[in-house]
Structure 1
């Protein structure tokens, strides 16, 4: 993917920010790094009033709603009015633009366990992917992960309690001497990731919640 492919997104930014005061206010919290994170209060009625699929994110600089503005080759482009972009494929954040630290590319070595579904993986599964951090001059850094299923947990999304399967991903990047734990809460029926905590970069942990997901029978 090239930055040039994002050229049409500023128009979507204007359209989105003009139509929903709640989104406009929540997106602005991403600019409040010097003031500390601002809590985001969101109701199902407010989510359903906007004509977009939506996620919420919690970043080190604040909380925000992002809207789906593009789907290309299975990659979802989620956009904030402040022009942050998060690209998600099969529930995994694979690239970010406009944050304080960015992931510039993701490539799996072999088949992606996210594509086959985390509800189907075996405990202890090992996977490897290559990640790019242009700002760190690190291209093709190895990211090694091990997955463990943790059983069903109750997760509240807006006004609904859902029984979701939690899967932990223990990640290690030897070239950066970095390790962390990602967590995913997936629908045990089809593996759809409804909530997650992902260390997109060592400086960009995100909590991502699908408040209006793009999936079959979604409202």
Structure 2
């Protein structure tokens, strides 16, 4: 079912634009984050300011996933599914318009499950310009145990890298994921959603009480 945020939820996001380099990073205590009735993330585009975004919508997505649309007070949107950025809106520069695949994302199946495929093929559209249906291939590699800091709290994680190749553009880039050792869910990630797009860093703070 579709769930939308209220105007009050939208106003909880820091009023900032990812256009403005040098803006102060958003910072909330764990107590403040948990006291809010909304799921939330920290997000950063490239070397821009870290913003606090709240969940605006949760919708059914491909292969039994749930897409989560995180919104800033400036209506910038980062949409994720199973921890992967699947769409962006109103970010400066390049935006990912669409990501789809004929097979489930290994992130949705649990990368720590030995039976989960470690290669995946998908298609992306990005803008500006007419960039539609580019085929991409990704390869996941488990890099071992690591520590990740979530809002000042150190947590155990499994660090995984994903190498994405788009042969028609002669482009490749590496995405990073820190996974919960028990659930396999993404705790933090740094991704390049589309070619020539700045890295998007997402830290999941208060998770949606459903599927990521």
* TM-score normalized with structure 1 length: 0.82
The equivalences for 1:44-83 within 5 A come to: 44-60=30-46, 61-73=48-60, 74-83=66-75
Structure 1 residue 178: deviation in Å?
1.8
For 2:10 and 2:87, how far apart are their aligned partners in 1? Answer: 23
The gaps in structure 1 that reach 5 residues or longer are: none
For 1:121 and 1:32, how far apart are their aligned partners in 2? Answer: 43
In terms of mean alpha carbon deviation, does 110-119 or 193-202 score higher?
A: 110-119
Q: Secondary structure at the match of 1:46?
A: helix
Seen in structure 2, the aligned counterparts of structure 1 residues 148 and 121 have a Cα distance that, compared at 3 Å, is farther
**Paired position in structure 1 for 2:145:** 152
Contact 1:57 1:208 in 2 (8 A): yes
Contact 2:111 2:118 in 1 (8 A): no
Higher helix share: 1
Seen in structure 2, the aligned counterparts of structure 1 residues 79 and 17 have a Cα distance that, compared at 3 Å, is closer
Kindly report structure 1 stretches of 4+ aligned residues shifted beyond 4 Å: 121-124
Count of matched residue positions in the alignment of Structure 1 and Structure 2: 201
For 1:88 and 1:17, how far apart are their aligned partners in 2? Answer: 18
Structure 1 residue 63: deviation in Å?
1.3
**Paired position in structure 1 for 2:181:** 188
CA-based RMSD? 2.4
**Paired position in structure 1 for 2:125:** 132
For 1:136 and 1:38, how far apart are their aligned partners in 2? Answer: 32
For 2:24 and 2:115, how far apart are their aligned partners in 1? Answer: 39
The gaps in structure 2 that reach 5 residues or longer are: 61-65
**Paired position in structure 2 for 1:98:** 90
**Paired position in structure 1 for 2:113:** 120
Contact 1:16 1:81 in 2 (8 A): no
Contact 2:110 2:116 in 1 (8 A): no
For 1:56 and 1:72, how far apart are their aligned partners in 2? Answer: 20
Higher relative CO (CA 8 A, sep ≥ 6), structure 1 or 2?
2
